[in-house]
Chains A and B, each alone.
Chain A
Amino acid sequence: MSNPVLNVKAVDKDFGGIRALDDVDLVVHQKEIVALIGPNGAGKTTFFNCITGIYAPTSGDVLVDPKATGDPVRVNGKKPNKVTELGMARTFQNIRLFPSMTALENVMIGTHCRTKSAVFGAITRCKATRNEEQAVIDRSYELLKLVGLDQYVNETSANMPYGKQRRLEIARALATDPFLLLLDEPAAGMNPQETHDLEKLIVDLRDRFDIAIMLIEHDMKMVMSMSDRIYVLDYGRMIADGTPREVAENPAVIKAYLGESDDD
């Protein structure tokens, strides 16, 4: 088996007295779609925050290896922007777009860490800057088109419908050129039709950009049909992992979900 692009080993996270993550291990390989599921408050979002540098894990290792060369970089305690530069981009459970900026500009922000024109270039607007700027605009527009938002290009993001805002977040994350895309409940608040379209989009993104995708999701139908592997988190502990089929039949998972009487 090839080297993992993301390798999380024995990560703990404490908030005061609460242990939100307890000895969590997880790996993601190239071009995989991995789902992270678990009841509310299980620590899924906290896991994303810990691997993307928003929180620093209390202990453990988060190793990333963008090219799967077997020579990973430890990212614990690195700032979020460094992690994004390394190639892990995310969306947020409660949408965090830049509300007064247009959809296009939101995506353009995503390209920031892959471009480099600075003050001098901005003021003189030299050839290199102009070319870079145009390339950024064009690429951002392409991404918007790809996620199906071409009619919202110049709309301020606060004025867009909820489902479209979720898509815009995905486009913005893609603009950072990630090797691993982390989606926190991308289908939350969507109707079945929208969820279905989203599922198609995610698979399509994986095939088109050859990236790995990890998603947190409560919609079991979607998770079961699209993921290569599933991890299950409960009270901060990883209680199961495997193919959708294995997970669905795992007694610990059934207990965790039935005990919580969560989703189907």
Chain B
Amino acid sequence: MDYFLELFFGGLTRGSIYALIALGYTMVYGIIELINFAHGEIYMIGAFTGLIVAGVLTALGFPEASILVIALICAVIWSASYGYTVEKIGYKPLRGAQRLSPLISAIGMSIFLQNYVMLAQTPDFLPFPALTPQFDFMKPYSAVMNSSELVIVVATIAVCVGLTLFIKYTKLGKAMRATAQNRKMAMLVGVNVDMVISATFVIGSSLAAVGGVLIASHIGQINYFIGFIAGIKAFTAAVLGGIGSIPGAMLGALVLGLTEAFATGYVSSDYEDVFAFCLLVLILIFRPAGIMGKEKTQKV
């Protein structure tokens, strides 16, 4: 039973991280129908920024508790800036181009950012300091779940609730939904579409940065390559839930996280990534609209 629970909470943690990244994919796809291939890299940059800031603060002798908060804030600020810049350089000039052009540009961005971080920092794994505090009340449950997992799950829930409320009730959130439904119409009724698209990238990137810092601190090491696999898996989660749908991305991430945890726990850990890819391939073939997505018929 303990093993099952351990796997369950492990899966929940994974799922939470996937959700934080998947939201960025789904929001961008919802608005400009682009698979933002570079999104995984934004997550990786978030983790690196967190590590660098934490390193500087530790060297300067800041108190433990404040480091996590400041590192998170800095990671969010810089990841958001990267997300914004990537959109301005790589995608904005391609509005209205053929469908494949922005996707290829996104792949180029992804390659560029990975190598940029590799060259500027290091090609090796870097140890990431454990930033999350160890709660005493979690001690009795340490066999199945530890403090940093709790922090990740709670933070993810908070972020998801916040995002849902934001999309539902704020002016910008409404503008985003309008743009996602019909960009031309939104433009005609006075929505600043360029601003909405930028905001989408900024928000998506911020969420990814939160995920990056939390998971890095949980696992304890990062390198420039972590964004690739995490990105693909989060994308799988987004598709699983129905790309373009925000609750779908959360649900899909949860399903994927748990599937992976149980499959590696009970079947084989060698094929961890194979499970995720197989799931992705199967969903796209048999239910391309995902769990919560709707199949669109193209008007002729």
Contact = CB atoms under 8 A, between A and B. Distances in A.
Interface string A18-61: 00000000000000000000000000010001000011000000
B297 A45 contact: no
A15 B298 CA distance: 11
A92 interface: yes
A45 B300 CA distance: 8
A89 to B, nearest CB: 15
A54 B297 CA distance: 10
Interface in A79-128: 92
Nearest to B294: A16
Contacts of B297: 15, 55
Contacts of B300: 45, 49, 54-55, 92
A49 B297 CA distance: 12
Interface in B255-300: 297, 300
B100 to A, nearest CB: 14
A174 B117 CA distance: 58
A45 B297 CA distance: 14
Contacts of A45: 300
Nearest to A80: B300
Nearest to A45: B300
Interface string B44-77: 0000000000000000000000000000000000
A106 to B, nearest CB: 18
Contacts of A92: 300
Contacts of A55: 297, 300
Nearest to A49: B300
Contacts of A54: 300
Contacts of A15: 297
A5 B297 CA distance: 29
Nearest to B298: A54
B190 to A, nearest CB: 27
A49 B300 CA distance: 8
B181 to A, nearest CB: 15
A203 B300 CA distance: 27
A54 B298 CA distance: 10
A81 B300 CA distance: 15
Interface of B: 297, 300
7 contacts: A15-B297, A45-B300, A49-B300, A54-B300, A55-B297, A55-B300, A92-B300
Interface of A: 15, 45, 49, 54-55, 92
Query: Which 7 pairs, one residue from A and one from B, show the smallest C-beta to C-beta distance?
Result: A54-B300, A49-B300, A92-B300, A55-B297, A45-B300, A15-B297, A55-B300
